[in-house]
Structure 1
């Protein structure tokens, strides 16, 4: 059923005082926005790499930027190689509110496509453990694509019904993010698709799913930990109604206040139609488009009162393949001490690198752990491109510096000519940033960029 914008959102007129302005903003398409992936590059370097664009730093988030023009950010080479992540501004808020710290154990209960998983990982400085769960098998490939593109070393990807995890791993995680599946009313500024599938029955269905997810996430949370629940919808049934349900079910649950300097938020509501909610839901946050020129969003921050219980540590051996590190040092003189706090292990024909916390996570079957380090071909190591973008900053030999036109040819999968006398695998540097690995043969550098990661061929 196709409904008009006014019809769809008219049910919220009583809870939005400036409803007319709200409707006006809903019909204005959003400008692109992104965050810098600090796992691979420092924010101050982005201006030079995106010099053709007009960037405005976000006041509340030093790693976020908005554009003052229409531009397909997802097609830019910096996005393809994982230096930036195109993401709507309001979508950045839940991970910021979660306040993840390095070396913590964190659960992203509904992880695909990976926007918030990768943001959490960089806020953790790529340390500790983030368990990224996605029940929808069709969305797993997109999640894996993004965690690899962003160079995550601290992620484990699993696929279980989110409602089960709290019973399997009770009191396990320092922090839990539930960016819940929802009726997606807030996506209207990006796509009109919501007009075709919106309905009260869908809102009620989503609310039931969300209640199961938040109960599971709360069970999985350690006492004293932090849970953030978010949706991109406006319906109170999916927002305050879900938090109210949690508060009634768990006396130890407590709502925490949210403050975001430089970003306007509105309080949660305590009355909706014929229903009254717990007064504490006022501390939840409603994000409306007219306040910050973003998509609508809802965010709640919860803690679990009680004394945390220590979990027994991993008793096994952390695998560390010294031969691979020696190979990297001989070929590129990348310092061996860069790898001293990681696990280096082989899975099938590939070598991986991860945090020790990732390696020692065996409580659930995992689809993926850590990042590809490289592959051995005829006793020669071919490093992975995403790996080299992180650890190749200290390369001292067997590297080639390239110009921008050469960079774009390489990233489109084409070979580039070189006058270098080197042979074999080399690291390509652009403006002192390691971009990837090429193979020199007969004065030609062959690209190793996979088809799924290539940019459009330059004309």
Structure 2
């Protein structure tokens, strides 16, 4: 095919055999646009009843939906309320097949921009924690925004090398997702520029990186824990060969079946004589309505590690914060408060800070202290429900003031009731929090976070 490297096409022809023609024909078909409903805030069925978009379920993702290209979900107030994350449908699969449960300690090792991390965090339901890491500091900042927009409170966000994390977290995590950097062959249909990048950064460039990353992930995985290794490429060198090599070096690791198995999935390819590679999953665009992906799920066998549990001590809560939190119907008794550089955080009892790491976020940022006043954070607003603050202002997504609020403008709110006619208000759209404002009579001073404003 034009503009696709001949070496890549020859490899795909050998890999697919009779299916190659159908694979090539898939490049002439439209790319599917999709979003994943955020279960922290709303169920898929419930959002389907209020969605302004025409949605069609992604059949192998319980909370995934296709939408028509004419829609603009990123320019709707529901996006700013964190009700969904826009994500390519095949890319939703890895997080959906790592069986995270509330209370798990979970690591997303290469997490930016956050599509998989936000789903992992949602499934924790506030119990345990998610450590989301990306070595790139700029990408880690985007990751942080998406996690906070999703309203996930029990997060650590770091920008560290995997080696630095290994030094702190040997045999520690219950579940690890490694969506490894790769040559991106599965995205060529969606973005032809990636094919140009492939010429200088193909499978032989990424395989050594993947080799190192998956072995570092194994070091951090608890015996009995599960590691999901995924890529968005078709290369056997970056997929089955990486997994087979790991199994050869680490007899404590075993491949397990991926569940639930969807009829459109394709089995992995036998590599290095290991027939269990068939337990891996390949997603091809000529078999499913999505781009290319690879998944493998591995368990670490061995004797469980006994953990030493020392419950962290909560800091003394400053008066201004205590007075503000009295307006919130949130149970803070199961965790602890941490004060650092005039910022107040809340962490659950499973979350321990590591002094050696560079954190972008440590738990839920409740707010900051400005000249002894407490200013609640944007992240705190998004982590609340509408009925969890004792004075709110309810806007409709059709109300022109909603967009004006998201742009940072002062609003006239004389027709909108709230419990208190003065002071902090939780601003909501269609019943879901957007951010904060301060009311004085009929005027609302806008406190929407400047860095997130509608452009």
Larger mean CA deviation between 356-365 and 414-423 belongs to 356-365
2:175 touches 2:226 (CA, 8 Å); kept in 1?
A: yes
Say which of 394, 400, 409 aligns to 1:401.
394
Q: Counterpart in 2 of 1:415?
A: 410
Q: Find the aligned partners of 1:325 and 1:277 in 2 and give their Cα distance.
A: 62
Spell out the pairing of 1:322-337 with structure 2 (5 A cutoff).
323=319, 326-330=322-326, 332=327, 334-336=328-330
Q: Counterpart in 2 of 1:152?
A: 152
Change over 3 Å in CA distance of 1:412–1:219 after alignment to 2: same
Change over 3 Å in CA distance of 1:383–1:45 after alignment to 2: farther
Change over 3 Å in CA distance of 1:434–1:169 after alignment to 2: closer
2:312 touches 2:336 (CA, 8 Å); kept in 1?
A: no
Deviation at 1:4, TM superposition (A): 2.7
Q: Counterpart in 2 of 1:124?
A: 124
Say which of 318, 324, 347 aligns to 1:354.
347
Q: Find the aligned partners of 1:31 and 1:13 in 2 and give their Cα distance.
A: 24
The runs of 4+ residues in structure 1 deviating greater than 6 Å are: none
2:183 touches 2:201 (CA, 8 Å); kept in 1?
A: no
Q: Find the aligned partners of 1:361 and 1:167 in 2 and give their Cα distance.
A: 10
Q: Counterpart in 2 of 1:173?
A: 173
Question: Deviations 1:349-385 (Å, cap 9, x if unpaired)?
Answer: 2222232222455564433211221234465533223
Question: Deviations 1:235-272 (Å, cap 9, x if unpaired)?
Answer: 1000001001101111111110113354521111125x
Question: Deviations 1:30-76 (Å, cap 9, x if unpaired)?
Answer: 2221111222334344235422x111123333322111344333333
Q: Find the aligned partners of 1:170 and 1:325 in 2 and give their Cα distance.
A: 36
Structure 1 residue ranges without an equivalent (≥5) = none
Spell out the pairing of 1:7-18 with structure 2 (5 A cutoff).
8-16=8-16, 17-18=18-19
Alignment length (residue pairs): 447
1:154 touches 1:357 (CA, 8 Å); kept in 2?
A: no
DSSP 3-state at the match of 1:175: strand
Q: Counterpart in 2 of 1:60?
A: 60
2:228 touches 2:295 (CA, 8 Å); kept in 1?
A: yes
Q: Counterpart in 2 of 1:296?
A: 292
TM-score, with structure 2 as normaliser: 0.90
Q: Counterpart in 2 of 1:436?
A: 435
Q: Find the aligned partners of 1:223 and 1:248 in 2 and give their Cα distance.
A: 18
1:392 touches 1:427 (CA, 8 Å); kept in 2?
A: no
Q: Counterpart in 2 of 1:22?
A: 23
2:303 is the counterpart of 1:307: yes
Question: Deviations 1:261-291 (Å, cap 9, x if unpaired)?
Answer: 54521111125xxxx4422211111111122
Q: Counterpart in 2 of 1:424?
A: 423
2:216 is the counterpart of 1:216: yes
Q: Counterpart in 2 of 1:100?
A: 100
Spell out the pairing of 1:225-374 with structure 2 (5 A cutoff).
225-262=225-262, 264-270=264-270, 276-314=272-310, 316-319=312-315, 321=317, 323=319, 326-330=322-326, 332=327, 334-336=328-330, 338-362=331-355, 364-374=357-367
2:446 is the counterpart of 1:447: yes
Structure 2 residue ranges without an equivalent (≥5) = none
2:111 touches 2:134 (CA, 8 Å); kept in 1?
A: yes
Change over 3 Å in CA distance of 1:303–1:79 after alignment to 2: same
2:383 is the counterpart of 1:390: yes
Larger mean CA deviation between 163-172 and 321-330 belongs to 321-330
Deviation at 1:91, TM superposition (A): 1.0
Q: Find the aligned partners of 2:273 and 2:36 in 1 and give their Cα distance.
A: 35
Q: Find the aligned partners of 1:363 and 1:394 in 2 and give their Cα distance.
A: 39
1:241 touches 1:277 (CA, 8 Å); kept in 2?
A: no
2:81 touches 2:429 (CA, 8 Å); kept in 1?
A: no
Deviation at 1:115, TM superposition (A): 1.4
Q: Counterpart in 1 of 2:111?
A: 111
DSSP 3-state at the match of 1:25: helix
Change over 3 Å in CA distance of 1:373–1:201 after alignment to 2: closer
Question: Deviations 1:147-206 (Å, cap 9, x if unpaired)?
Answer: 222222221122222245445432111111110000011112332111211137631120
Q: Find the aligned partners of 1:167 and 1:351 in 2 and give their Cα distance.
A: 27
Q: Find the aligned partners of 1:218 and 1:395 in 2 and give their Cα distance.
A: 40
Q: Find the aligned partners of 1:455 and 1:106 in 2 and give their Cα distance.
A: 32
Q: Find the aligned partners of 2:165 and 2:370 in 1 and give their Cα distance.
A: 40
Q: Counterpart in 2 of 1:38?
A: 39
TM-score, with structure 1 as normaliser: 0.89
Change over 3 Å in CA distance of 1:316–1:446 after alignment to 2: closer
Q: Find the aligned partners of 1:178 and 1:309 in 2 and give their Cα distance.
A: 22
2:94 touches 2:230 (CA, 8 Å); kept in 1?
A: yes
